[in-house]
Structure 1
Amino acid sequence: MTETSPPVHTAPDQEKWLTPGVKKIGSASFLADVGHEIPTALLPSLLTSTLGAPAAALGAIEGVSDALAGAARFGGGALADDPARRRKVAVGGYATTAVLGAATAGATAVWQVGLLRAAAWTARGLRVPARNALLADIVPANKYSRAYGFERMMDNLGAIFGPLLALGLVAWLGVQWAIGLSLIPGLLAAVAIVYAIRKTPRPTSRDNVPLKIRIRPVLQGGLGKLMAAVAAFEAGNIAATLLILRASDLLAPEHGTKVATTVALGLYTAYNVAATIASVPAGRLSDHLGRRGPILVLAGGVAAFLLSYGLFTIDATTIAFLAIPFLLAGVGIGAVETAQHSSVAALAPKDLRGSAFGLLATVQSLGNLAASTIAGILWSAVSPTAAFTYLAAWMLLALAGLVWASRR
């Protein structure tokens, strides 16, 4: 009789998480970010140099577009609750964003740019909860943090590569051709999402169920307590442009405006690189720590922001010193975004996962708007030190909220 070896059982912690589906969702994030960073980087030139619009037009267009994107993320959460709808919204959102973003290359009037930009950002907002819910569909629960860390890494990598590609295309073909060619990576992102969807079990459609935005059921239990801490963090999470401004202002007296601006942009690139590098290790650590892993990693990211803002209150003029808070903020955002997404995937009711991701995205949008607006007012009315002290206070409040949520 021939002996047969007993079957080898794979332990749960050995299950593969970097599956083809996860890779394709990560690829979609990378390609989509490259695609929308090109028109974003070149929008000021298109408006002011090509169409002759004032700087106020750029501010108005971006403000309206960001507001619509935030509202769309909230509504997109309700759409993403249905597994069948979330697939359609994800594919449609990526494809529509690519087409509308590239279409601004053919605009002949400022109002056309504004309309196309607003519509593209609305589609971009709609797809975010659907993409995040899709990722949770194809990953074991004990691997959520690694999967979301990978997705965040690819998204941040796109934020680095996109502007560099825009510069090369402008030098080769000009602004309008460069914006038009952003269609290619954008549509490739939609193709990647289609491939990822093929790796998920085919859902039973619930299209006959009326759409309903649900907040209270989402916030019941641990997710509600965690979301309060997340809201405190986002209320102090300013746009990275203010970090660039702080570095430029500090370096200009000694190095001149042109050099200061160049160095500040280099520091911002280092911020994105740090976020890219930190995302996957943060996810691995979170999964390794078990149930409390996401909240501990989130607390670590918030602490990194607290240190960063504290250093930004100092009027230092050396490049080496300024690199430290930029790197801390980059590591912080890599850890925070990874932990936020994995926490929502783990704590939200499965049938309300889309609404939970939509609520998270809305809290992020509104918090960032409030943080940047109030910090800007304090910056102008009092001092940059006052602005960063205010932001650091929110980080302390967020840490206290995380401690409270962890104990419960």
Structure 2
Amino acid sequence: MTNPPPLADPTTPEQERWLTPGVRGIGTASFLADVGHEIPTALLPSLLTSTLGAPAAALGVIEGVSDALAGAARFGGGVLADDPARRRKVAVGGYATTAVLGAATAGATAVWQVGVLRATAWTARGLRVPARNALLADIVPAAAYGRAYGFERMMDNLGAIFGPLLALGLVAALGVQWAIGLSVIPGLLAAIAIIYAIRHTPKPTSRDKIPLKIRIRPVLQGDLGKLMAAVAAFEIGNIAATLLILRATDLLAPGHGTKTATTIALGLYTAYNLAATLASVPAGRLADRLGTRGPIQVLAAGVAAFALAYGLFTINSAAIAFLALPFLLAGIGIGAVETAQHSAVAALAPKDLRGSAFGMLATVQSLGNLAASAIAGILWTVISPTAAFTYLTAWMLLALLGLGVSSRH
């Protein structure tokens, strides 16, 4: 398999026109979809425990099963997204189904109903991810991948900030169930935004459907395979942000009390999300400016930011200003990493394997995050938080080593 052609000169006027209606449509869909599913996500614990009287264990089982199905669906969604015509239907269907089923949990009268609706909604959400990412690569020239994916990540992160805030306002005004039910509105608007984006996407040149086929070996050949190995090392050390919140809460509680410590930790998490939002587009712009190897270099910078953040988390300091630093570094890191991962895969994957490549990336992210959080949690409990973050830092360093190998011609 031959490598893709080098990226075009990003300084030409044609390449500068990257924020097209299609890109804006996909970015808007990401924002609205995140707002839509963050509302039921934020209110799910209250619905299960307060409204339906379920134990806390039910929440863990439902979320665990849903996340597992979403991860598997991302792999399957990649196979579907290899076909340019089919990826359009998968994207629209995925956004609409997630919105309807997520909001439908408001009417559930039993815990099992919540579980089925949540798991099915998350499966649809997983299916749409590779299709959306492949669609974005169809819309923009290769020299603008960084900026386009940075814009999409920025909008997604904005939705993660705005969604929980909207949930709080809706609960105060209407109650938990009404708030969850109304989440269908931004979710369906996201589906409309995807349709708008598709209308501004070049139509497939061939009417022949590409047969459904799992293609792992072709995706893992050459430079793309080296990149996936480095990404896997990063994701195995990329824990859920909830563990960062827990670390800050544990350190702050002795001096501030549990309630105040929790409030401060959530404030630090908000700073993390803001940093990710603000870093995404500049990271993409830098990746485009650096040329063919730009995405890998930006990815390495993001991984280095995580390594430094995790290293700081090994220190038992309860100073708020000190704790803010690793949260900001991790936020900048995730903004850079997610943008660079997507733009690198879009640049390195053959056009007919883009869907599978993005599906593979999403699967590696999902499985790696699960392993990272599980192992770090065990080390945290059995040994210490310092041991957990030392372990995670080691994976960041391995990822940097892998990216060094990947960046060689």
Output the TM-score relative to the length of structure 1: 0.97
Give the structure with higher Rg (CA). 1
1:170 aligns with 2:171: yes
Give matches, 1:102-251, under 5 Å.
102-204=103-205, 208-251=209-252
Q: Which letter does structure 2 place at the counterpart of 1:169?
A: L
Q: By how many angstroms is 1:204 displaced? A: 4.6
Does the CA-based 8 Å contact 2:223-2:348 persist in structure 1?
yes
Q: Which letter does structure 2 place at the counterpart of 1:158?
A: G
Unaligned runs of 5+ in 1: 1-9
Q: Which letter does structure 2 place at the counterpart of 1:102?
A: A
Q: By how many angstroms is 1:11 displaced? A: 2.6
For 1:75 and 1:303, the matched residues in 2 are separated by 31
Q: By how many angstroms is 1:218 displaced? A: 1.0
Does the CA-based 8 Å contact 2:230-2:402 persist in structure 1?
yes
Does the CA-based 8 Å contact 2:82-2:210 persist in structure 1?
no
For 1:239 and 1:229, the matched residues in 2 are separated by 19
1:128-159 deviation per Cα after TM superposition (whole angstroms, max 9, x unaligned): 00000000000010000000000000000000
Aligned to 1:6: none
Aligned to 1:18: 19
Aligned to 2:394: 393
Does the CA-based 8 Å contact 2:15-2:143 persist in structure 1?
no
For 2:146 and 2:134, the matched residues in 1 are separated by 13
Does the CA-based 8 Å contact 2:15-2:141 persist in structure 1?
no
Aligned to 1:78: 79
- What percentage of residue pairs aligned between the two structures are identical? 86
Q: By how many angstroms is 1:209 displaced? A: 4.0
Q: Which letter does structure 2 place at the counterpart of 1:166?
A: A
Q: Which letter does structure 2 place at the counterpart of 1:106?
A: G
For 2:253 and 2:162, the matched residues in 1 are separated by 27
Does the CA-based 8 Å contact 2:83-2:209 persist in structure 1?
no
Does the CA-based 8 Å contact 2:233-2:398 persist in structure 1?
yes
Unaligned runs of 5+ in 2: 1-10
Q: By how many angstroms is 1:388 displaced? A: 0.1
Q: CA RMSD in A?
A: 1.0
For 1:391 and 1:205, the matched residues in 2 are separated by 46
Q: By how many angstroms is 1:397 displaced? A: 0.2
For 2:206 and 2:96, the matched residues in 1 are separated by 22
What is the aligned residue count? 399
For 2:15 and 2:284, the matched residues in 1 are separated by 15
Q: Which letter does structure 2 place at the counterpart of 1:149?
A: G
1:343-364 deviation per Cα after TM superposition (whole angstroms, max 9, x unaligned): 0000001001000000000000
For 2:58 and 2:125, the matched residues in 1 are separated by 21
Q: Which letter does structure 1 place at the counterpart of 2:185?
A: I
Q: Secondary structure at 2:140's aligned position in 1?
A: coil
Aligned to 2:3: none
Deviates more, 1:397-406 or 1:14-23: 14-23
Q: By how many angstroms is 1:208 displaced? A: 4.7
Does the CA-based 8 Å contact 1:287-1:293 persist in structure 2?
yes
For 2:298 and 2:79, the matched residues in 1 are separated by 28
Q: Secondary structure at 1:407's aligned position in 2?
A: coil
Q: Which letter does structure 2 place at the counterpart of 1:26?
A: G
